[in-house]
Amino acid sequence: MRIAIVTGASSGLGREFVKQIIQKKRLDAVWVIARRESRLLEMAQGSPVPILPIPLDLTKQESFSALRALLEEEKPDIRILVNAAGFGKIGSYAEISISDSESMINLNCRALVQMTLLVLPYMTRGAQILEVCSVASFQPLPALNVYAASKAFVQSYSRSLRWELFGRGIHVTAVCPYWIKDTEFISIAEKTDHPKGVRHFPLASCAHGVVRAALRDGKLNLPVSTPGPVAFLQRFFTKFIPHELVIACWEGLRHL
């Protein structure tokens, strides 16, 4: 059974990945993971390809035991894994709770690594892993401190894993979008003691275009996908401009 697994599938990028994977890839099923079961069941209704809703909280260790058992039972041929579950919080170290900081690290880093390691035994040549990262991974960002650090981890992890998997012919791409306006990310990020820590999100992109570019770049086995011109330019300039200067510009821009 040839399948795709998408985490964070109940909204935003994850949901868009499911739509486009169904249109573009010939698969027997798509397994979708998130906490909101009703959203996953809704997706399954009327889908041209069978969708298996797997309601799990990926910050809980028992979720991975359940997933491991399911994989051992079904022994699927996993053609594509998209790790899109993730969240950020806007605010300084004093404005974000310890529990939110811990959950960000748990979901954005630990769960992503665990998902990846869990599916790798079920992948063969030509399979793809898309680790959803962010332009926040290119430099440290005050007011998105833990989030940016968690995405720097994801970028570093994905790029080394890609080399480790060359021999097995498995593609790994870190997908690094700039702000996206049509997902729940920004509204969740603003639910802190300092919701206006970033005042505007100019030139924000759309989930559809980000996912289309990410799937293309994953197929090409690019190490990093920067969907859209803003993401590309940020990646380019942060290679040459000292990060302290980039941080100073960010500090100005986010207060405008």
Ligand X SMILES: NC(=O)c1ccc[n+]([C@@H]2O[C@H](COP(=O)([O-])OP(=O)(O)OC[C@H]3O[C@@H](n4cnc5c(N)ncnc54)[C@H](OP(=O)(O)O)[C@@H]3O)[C@@H](O)[C@H]2O)c1
Where does this chain bind ligand X (CB under 6 A)? 8-14, 34-36, 39, 57-59, 84-88, 107, 132, 134, 177, 179-180, 183-186, 188
**Active-site residue, 122 included:** no
Q: DSSP assignment of the chain, as one string?
A: -EEEEEESTTSHHHHHHHHHHHHHS--SEEEEEES-HHHHHHHHTT-SS-EEEEE--TTSHHHHHHHHHHHHHH--EEEEEEE-------S-TTTS-HHHHHHHHIIIIIIHHHHHHHHGGG--TT-EEEEE--GGGGS--TTSHHHHHHHHHHHHHHHHHHHHTTTTT-EEEEE----BSSSSHHHHHT-SS-TTSS---TT-B-HHHHHHHHHHHHHTT-SEE--SHHHHHHHHHHHHS-HHHHHHHHHHHTT-
CB of 78 to ligand X, least distance (A): 18
- Closest to ligand X by CB, 2 vs 235, is 235
- Closest to ligand X by CB, 113 vs 186, is 186
- Closest to ligand X by CB, 2 vs 212, is 212
Quick one: which of 185, 183, 191 has its CA closest to 96?
191
- Closest to ligand X by CB, 36 vs 255, is 36
CB of 11 to ligand X, least distance (A): 4
Catalytic residue among 93, 122, 147, 178: 147
Residues that are catalytic? 147
